[in-house]
Structure 1
Amino acid sequence: MTVPFSAEEFAKYEPLIESYKKARDDQMAKYDPRFYATCLARLPSQQEFDCKPIDATGFVKPDFGLLTQEEAAIVNDYTLQQLLEKQLEGKLTAVEIAHAFIRASIVAQIATNCVMQFMFDTALAQAAKSDEFLRENKQLRGPLHGVPVSLKEHLEIKGLVTHASYVSLLENVSKSTNVSIELVENMGATTHVRTSQPQAIMHLDTINNVTGRTRNPLSTCLSPGGSSGGESAIIGMHGSLLGIGSDIGGSIRCPAAFANLYGLRPTTKRFSGLYSVSGGKGQESVIGTMGPLARSTSELNAFMHHYVNYGKPWLLDPSCVPLPWNNSPQLPAKVRVGVLFSDGVVTPFPAVTRTMHEVAENLQKNPLVEVVDLKDHWLSAQEMLEANKTVSALYTCDGNRTQEELLHSSGEPLLHLTKFFFEINDGKHLSVYENRELNCIRDNVRLKIFQNVFPHCDFILSPAYAGPPEVPGIAKYWGYTSLWNLVDFPNLVFPTPFQHDPAKDTLVPPLHDNHFERLHWNDEHGKIRYDPKTYEGGYIALQLTGPRFQDEHVVAAAELITKSLGIGRR
């Protein structure tokens, strides 16, 4: 039997926490003492990063002076394909690439606190192995030869501690390596860093009792999203070329949106999560998935092509479907984009609504796109409320027992958003019968979207979150992303050029009268919490959804849309 927060019990773990953080920080100092000292001297203080809307992405640019011209070109300018070509041509080595991204990841950590664990020695050994292979064989080890890939920490690595932000697991040494990590390393990737996730891995934010709060790279006083917020921060800071996150309620898409990046939640069973630590084990009604975060659709598509067609995850994970990645999906001559300005439950903040209209107007001028307003085809407000309540109840179907066992055994304090998550559906333990009833609702929602919405459009364009990048510790409405986990349609979040504007985005629109609307718009006293001044520096990314197992078409359609918007590589 476990007990809730206990200061006495937690005190026993505090030396472990400090030792864990010290090991991470010591790696930065040991790697290059002069570089680390220069970073600390040149960059703003941790307090400044927390309190000011600092765009930290400029700190890895050559004119700031922390990275050399060549290092800055490696991390900022060269695409996945260019890095591979330059290695084949002998113009770059994998070790040189690793050093550049290691330096950028140090800058990223100081600015955003995105790292759980550095693996510099491992990464440099992997890079040296790739260089040796190329010298001896005159060919690349694999399609990710020398390419840095960052990893969400709850993906296990054999021989290393994997704690998934549960203090009780700070001495949990993994016996196996996550299948997806094994695959990318077999393809020649350099894995140099493991990134942060929130307590319980069930926040649309990233804060935990081990390493603290992760910051948004574009506006450091804002949230990076969650639960893969460490990934959005390090990719946004160019501290890694590609990243692997996980998503059961928005955990790839929300962070990608908050950092104005690209993030794919594939249809489940296309991307392996075998050998991962979480509090959701055994829950099969809403299935989580792993997926990539990237700086362009072309790199995201290339990664999925290599991962699926070269890696063949189904050979190592029997839950994965043996479905090849279609690298040349055929879109219709005129793509029908259905626009969902609101889900009918929660009204987005003004900047999101403005961005949706701006993008819709842009696409209306594109001869390759037909814009369809989905208002008359979408689910009713009552159906959407039921869907939101259903997915929320399914997350906590065991009455939070598994989560509580992991959290309470260390006595660690529950953070605000963890308490909120535990209170969903009043923490009710569902009976088998109740769970089956909710599964039926889930299946009916999926069928209605398939039968009533997709006949009118090829893809659905919608908000990725009901606001700009959020104030830390505030994000409580998951519906714009979690609906798609419930029904398992693939989504891709893509960046836009539109930013929250405190002067334009001022008016509070008419609001719905329901629990979720109040949850999003009101503070704990029931008053409107929206203050346009608090979202300075936040960009608005959007979400594109397609039919199940049409992931490749979603990526292709997102590329069409971003080209129309003039948005390229981040």
Structure 2
Amino acid sequence: MGQNYKEIAAIALARRKAAIPTHYLLPSEYLQNLPRNVTTVPKDSKHFTTHELEIIEAEAADILEKIATRAWTSTEVTKAFCKASIVANQLVTEILFSEALKRAQFLDDYIEKEHKVIGPLHGLPISLKDCMVTPPHPSSIGMACYANEETSEATVLVSILAKLGAVFYVKTAVPVAMMMMETNSNIWGETTGAYHSGCSPGGSSGGEGALLAMRGSPLGVGTDIGGSIRIPSAFNGLYGLKPTFGRFPVYGTKSGITGQDFIFSNNGPMSRSIDTLKLYCQAVLSNEVSPWNLDPKCLAVPWRSGTINPPSRKLRFGIISDNDGEISAHPPIVRGLAMTKKALEKAGHEVFEWSPNNHPEMVREMNNSFYTLGGAAILGLTKEHDEPVFGSMKSYERAYEQGEHGTLGPTKLREMITARNGFQKEYLDRWNATAEDGNQIMDGIILPASPWTAPRLGVTQTDIFCVNYTGVFNLLDYPACTFPVTFTDKDVDKVRTDWKPLNKKDEALQADYDPEFYHGTPVALQCVGRRLEDEKVLDMVEIIANALRM
């Protein structure tokens, strides 16, 4: 047995505490009376100057313009976001303030001397999910074995963003091995939601999601293998893109299940603005950067514009407006779907019901692959430091203890791959079939990102853990982006009546819905496109967002 996880956690927490400037901390008297919705804290706490508030409320494009025109310096922008991130310090793992301020000063000196920016992200603070490696800082991914281990080689994406001019100032919290839909670990503790502190911020990019919602970052980078960008984005009212695998470089990212290629993990941007997502994608996937020359898995496909031709043409959406055949969405999500359908139809677009054929079966295939492939990879490491196992990860423990770890033979692997490929071909054929009878082919699918708006803390550690709505598109490898719609309203979103559950799990999940408790939590959905149509997905989300504002 190695060093106990509690001793390891104490060292990591002390390192983080030592890196925090005390004048960035909120006054203790304010901390004693925090509101349930902590997104109001920056404005209401009086902890920020008017100028600091102007900076942290600004969108990325505005920040970049002000730095480029020298109305703002990168240094003052970086200081404002460093301070804002500490107001939400439970979300942060590694603090990079010292390097960030040196970097910002370098960028300010460069623009003053050269009279031009170093790249399209010049001076922009970008927060990073903990799995993005920034040497020499550890990338713990919520595990004791990595919590204090120095790193030496940066993630390829981190190096690219640095060349584009980005400033890295914090890394954000994740759950154990990044394999839970809540953000809790034995090292960093529990992260709570931004709009409701009694709710989860989601996982595994939960620290990223909550930080963005609290104005602690203008742009964040998350990863997604079963919903880890979309679930936190939805729970925190954000736009978050899960791309097609191969569109963005992934090499050198820390993984919870190293070496598995059955379900691909992707990275993508998260923000309060769809324009910020587009800005990021255009910068990273440019010919000037050519990330495909740096990562062998990255496709040589630059970011494209004008994917909807003509731009004014009406779109055709499928919608899953209540359940996926196994799990029904909570009432506020159902209302959000109805609102979106009505707004799109009012704008002249077609919306028809899309049947979620085999969605639950595909998610079971995905989850079982994680248990089979991850039992040894994860439990073998956590047991070295006597880390307790969280409820939603008990299946990994069972796979490990039953001797399934390390015994995946070629026959079983072939069966898994065959089943996955069959699901992918069937879905492709169904999508193509929407063009029959003279119809325009379906442009995208609109559906929940989760049955919850943001589940109460701990509830997904029970038997009603559910990544149904996101996981299916990881197995299919389809791009998807979340978008905010509205907020839960206790006076409108009543408990379902005269309703028959689909099964015991569906019944238990609906029983968790309490209008009073969930009041004020974000209602967000996702839009899904076909493989490699990532640009079109963001264009469709922009059209949806505009329709909802009309």
TM-score, structure 1 as length reference: 0.89
Change (3 A) 1:203 1:509: farther
Match of 2:63 in 1: 83
SS at 2:27 equivalent = helix
CA contact (8 A) 1:464 1:493 kept: yes
Question: Identity across aligned pairs (percent)?
Answer: 29
Q: Please state if 1:558 is matched with 2:541.
A: yes
> Distance between the aligned counterparts of 1:195 and 1:287, measured in 2?
22
Q: Please state if 1:362 is matched with 2:343.
A: yes
Match of 1:178 in 2: 155
The residue type paired with residue 472 of structure 1 is L
> Distance between the aligned counterparts of 2:450 and 2:496, measured in 1?
18
* 1:290 counterpart (267, 285, 288): 267
* 1:43 counterpart (30, 38, 41): 30
Please state how far the C-alpha of 1:422 moved relative to its aligned partner. Answer: 4.3
Q: Please state if 1:139 is matched with 2:139.
A: no
CA deviation map 1:305-363 (0-9, x unaligned): 10111432212111111110003322561111111122112111222112111211121
Alignment of 1:368-383 (within 5 A): 369-375=349-355, 378-379=356-357, 383=358
CA deviation map 1:56-79 (0-9, x unaligned): 111112x54111111100110x22
Match of 1:335 in 2: 315
Please state how far the C-alpha of 1:191 moved relative to its aligned partner. Answer: 0.4
For the aligned residue pairs, the C-alpha RMSD in angstroms reads: 2.2
Change (3 A) 1:149 1:508: farther
* 1:497 counterpart (475, 486, 496): 486
SS at 2:93 equivalent = strand
Please state how far the C-alpha of 1:455 moved relative to its aligned partner. Answer: 4.2
> Distance between the aligned counterparts of 2:511 and 2:309, measured in 1?
43
* 1:443 counterpart (396, 401, 421): 421
CA deviation map 1:169-224 (0-9, x unaligned): 22321121011111111111110000000012111110001111111111111000
> Distance between the aligned counterparts of 2:432 and 2:457, measured in 1?
35
* 2:40 counterpart (54, 58, 61): 58
* 2:332 counterpart (351, 356, 364): 351
Change (3 A) 1:83 1:195: same
CA deviation map 1:383-407 (0-9, x unaligned): 3332222111111233611111221
Q: Please state if 1:189 is matched with 2:166.
A: yes
CA contact (8 A) 1:399 1:428 kept: no
CA deviation map 1:279-318 (0-9, x unaligned): 3112111111111101111110110110111432212111
Q: Please state if 1:540 is matched with 2:523.
A: yes
* 1:27 counterpart (19, 25, 30): 19
* 2:471 counterpart (482, 503, 512): 482
Please state how far the C-alpha of 1:273 moved relative to its aligned partner. Answer: 2.1
Alignment of 1:215-254 (within 5 A): 215-254=192-231
SS at 1:558 equivalent = helix
> Distance between the aligned counterparts of 1:423 and 1:340, measured in 2?
34
CA contact (8 A) 2:110 2:118 kept: yes
SS at 1:320 equivalent = coil
> Distance between the aligned counterparts of 2:51 and 2:72, measured in 1?
10
Which has the larger displacement, 114-123 or 435-444? 435-444
CA contact (8 A) 1:197 1:207 kept: yes
> Distance between the aligned counterparts of 1:302 and 1:20, measured in 2?
34
> Distance between the aligned counterparts of 1:504 and 1:528, measured in 2?
14
CA contact (8 A) 2:331 2:494 kept: yes
Q: Which runs of 4+ in 1 moved over 6 A?
A: 424-427
Match of 1:6 in 2: none
> Distance between the aligned counterparts of 1:439 and 1:105, measured in 2?
42
* 2:75 counterpart (86, 95, 98): 95
> Distance between the aligned counterparts of 1:323 and 1:564, measured in 2?
30
The residue type paired with residue 522 of structure 1 is A
Which has the larger displacement, 15-24 or 295-304? 15-24
SS at 2:240 equivalent = strand
- Unaligned ranges ≥5, structure 1: 4-8
CA deviation map 1:389-444 (0-9, x unaligned): 21111112336111112211111111222225545898855432222222222222
The residue type paired with residue 231 of structure 1 is E
- Unaligned ranges ≥5, structure 2: 435-441
Change (3 A) 1:167 1:43: same
CA contact (8 A) 2:318 2:352 kept: yes
The residue type paired with residue 328 of structure 2 is T
CA contact (8 A) 2:242 2:480 kept: yes
Alignment of 1:392-541 (within 5 A): 392-398=367-373, 400-420=375-395, 422-423=397-398, 428=404, 430-456=408-434, 457-475=442-460, 476-501=465-490, 504-507=493-496, 510-514=499-503, 518-519=504-505, 521-522=507-508, 528-541=511-524
CA contact (8 A) 1:488 1:548 kept: yes
